[in-house]
Amino acid sequence: MMRKLSLLIAGALMGASAMSLVYGAPGSTANAAGSETYKQLAIFGDIFERVRAQYVTPPDDKSLVENAINGMLASLDPHSSYMNAEQAQDMRVQTKGEFGGLGIEVTMENDLVKVITPIDDTPAAKAGVLAGDYIAKIDGQEVRGLTLNDAVEKMRGLVNTPIKLTILRQGADKPIELTVVRDIIKVKAVKFRVENDIGYMKITSFTEKTYDDLENAIDTIKKQVPNDKLKGYVLDLRLNPGGLLDQAVSVSDAFLDRGEIVSTRGRDPKDVTRFDAKAGDDIGAKPLIVLVNGGSASASEIVAGALQDLRRATVVGTQSFGKGSVQTIIPLGENGALRLTTALYYTPSGKSIQGKGITPDIKVDQPLPPELQGKDLTRGESDLKGHIKGADESDTGSGSAAYVPPDPKDDLQLIYAEQLLRGQKTDPAFPPNPEKAVLNQ
């Protein structure tokens, strides 16, 4: 698949990766290390000094320490890691949902940065950047030789600072010079549209703005379609890698008026936190279908699991990723942050989806186009080396193909959901019966 990067999130798109973040409460204080532990640390210190003194070329001390820390954390599970100051800042930008930038979605093609689309009412759009433009130079520096991440990093920056882009445009007889002044770019975590008599909402990630964006989507759809004409809603969580736990809870609560949404359980059996729904269903009990696939991970699985267990929505698609762990972000001051797995989360029925995923109520496979056939697009937690073994994990494992057609007319999973809502298809799983909610006893 074409590697794609968006300046909207100021970093590599996570796609259906396992590196989603769900923040939990800080963990308990670590136990004091024993004498044997200090002996091992002394061995590490000795090796570190010998490497510094005797390695064939002088190593970088900072790099040695960072790699040693990451090696230790990688031995725990795939989601625990150390972030240096720059990486920690990138993570904060992604979860905040806004940053100083241009407002263009880009990819790398023919060693140049290609503009996929400028976002409406952003500095790039106002300056005249068009879809299909190729960025050849950034502030006079050739793009050739840069990675996509390097190019994006150069285009990010402080608000109200200018950047000069040299653009190659089809039909233009010479390069176009544009000066763009950076501004605050607010990421839209929820994309929505009306499909005649159905409201469609796609959550791309769970940032600080996701719930607010969802509320705006619901309000706009209600204004566009009279209540007596609106058949229901489709909540698309496919290719959603996760995000903030509190946002997953708020999104779930938007469609629920009772019941437990999710619980987290840490190392200490007493360390259990439960999150419950408040009264009030924002879509007025209208039918709801949730779409998932192998790219639906972490926070998106919390939402799908809660709506499924409480029989508020019918889940359609294929097996989700199966990331049921909670990572706590522990700031380390100027030295970055520690991302540490501190708990597992459980659906209202009391089941862990770690290494298992959410099993859809109605399985609908999405065929791959000819150009992708033969390629392995399956994503799942159970395939990750060193993953935490889930309580309900089986040999079947978790995950499925992480692919969604770019054109809705080819999207069989979405088409199936819309046919259910319009009564063109029937299934015992739709509509679900709230009286048969599966709760943890």
* pLDDT given at position 314: 98
* pLDDT given at position 33: 65
Residues 306-329 pLDDT 10s:
999 999 999 999 999 999 999 999
The two three-digit tokens of residue 144, written as one number: 């050739």
* pLDDT given at position 31: 62
Q: Which segments of the chain have a pLDDT < 50?
A: 1-29
* pLDDT given at position 188: 84
* pLDDT given at position 90: 79
The two three-digit tokens of residue 242, written as one number: 């996760």
Provide the 8-state DSSP code for 140.
T
Provide the 8-state DSSP code for 203.
E
Which one is catalytic: 298, 325, 352, 400? 298
Are the CB atoms for 317 and 413 separated by under 8 Å? yes
Domains within the chain, CATH numbers bracketed: 101-186 (2.30.42.10), 190-436 (3.90.226.10)
Q: Is 309 a catalytic residue?
A: yes
* pLDDT given at position 120: 77
Query: Which residues neighbour 432 within 8 Å (Cβ) at sequence distance 6 or greater?
Result: 308, 311, 312, 313, 314, 361
Question: Which of helix, strand or coil describes residue 300?
Answer: helix
Which one is catalytic: 137, 323, 351, 356? 323
Q: Helices marked H in 136-204 — which ranges?
A: 148-155
Q: Helices marked H in 265-336 — which ranges?
A: 299-309
Q: How far is CA 37 from CA 68, 338, 411, in A?
A: 16, 21, 55
Q: Is 252 a catalytic residue?
A: no
CA pair distance 342, 340, nearest whole angstrom: 6
Residues 113-144 pLDDT 10s:
999 888 778 899 999 999 899 999 999 999 99
* pLDDT given at position 17: 29
Residues 323-349 pLDDT 10s:
999 999 999 988 899 999 999 999 999
